[in-house]
Amino acid sequence: MLTTATVTEASAGFITLPPNFFQRGSLLVIDFLAAISNRVTGPDTFTINIKLGNVTAFTTGAITLTTTAHTNIPLKGKIELSCQTVGSGTKAALMGIAVLTGQMIQQGGTAGADSATLSNTIIMPNTAPAVGTGFDSTVANTLDFQTAQSVSNAANGFRLDEYRVVSWGNSAV
């Protein structure tokens, strides 16, 4: 697991959204299944970033992991991004929310051991809704799903197993 969101795979698999794809009020929904590994000596955090080109258009912020060690246990997530503005330069912006379910996560606060029989569901970011960093929606943009963990350790990991991206109300003009 990397402590910075560094591209480690070939970009050939990235989704490229055409120029003028985003429309004001439209949605981009990302559903995913992943596996998380975390060390017992934490607490550690991880962050999910959705990038358009080189811009982080959405971030979950730091997600707190429990102090219970895990190896590749399931995490299910949905990220909904609504287009607030469109335009060139940095005028386009998305506002998003992520709903995550997994035994190894908690909403925030002081991390503790998790329950062996229950999963937690959290909503991130744990702040008032706000638009992300602006990007240029008039050019083609690659869509990238990146994660970073607060501590680089052999016991920490994030494996994206499956994902799908669904567009509602977006179209190339």
Q: β-strands 141-149, 157-168: how paired?
A: unpaired
Residue 173 lies in a domain: no
- Are 121 and 73 in contact by the 8 Å Cβ rule? The answer is no
Compute the half-sphere exposure of residue 12: CA atoms within 13 Å on the CB side of its CA.
1
* Domains identified in the chain, total number: 1
Is residue 3 predicted with pLDDT exceeding 60? no
User: What is each CA distance from 138 to 64, 69, 73, 157, in whole angstroms?
Assistant: 36, 45, 40, 35
- Are 135 and 92 in contact by the 8 Å Cβ rule? The answer is yes
One-letter amino acid of 6: T
Residue 5 lies in a domain: no
Residue 43 lies in a domain: yes
Per-residue pLDDT reduced to its tens digit, 72-123: 999 999 999 999 999 999 999 999 999 999 998 887 777 788 877 778 899 9
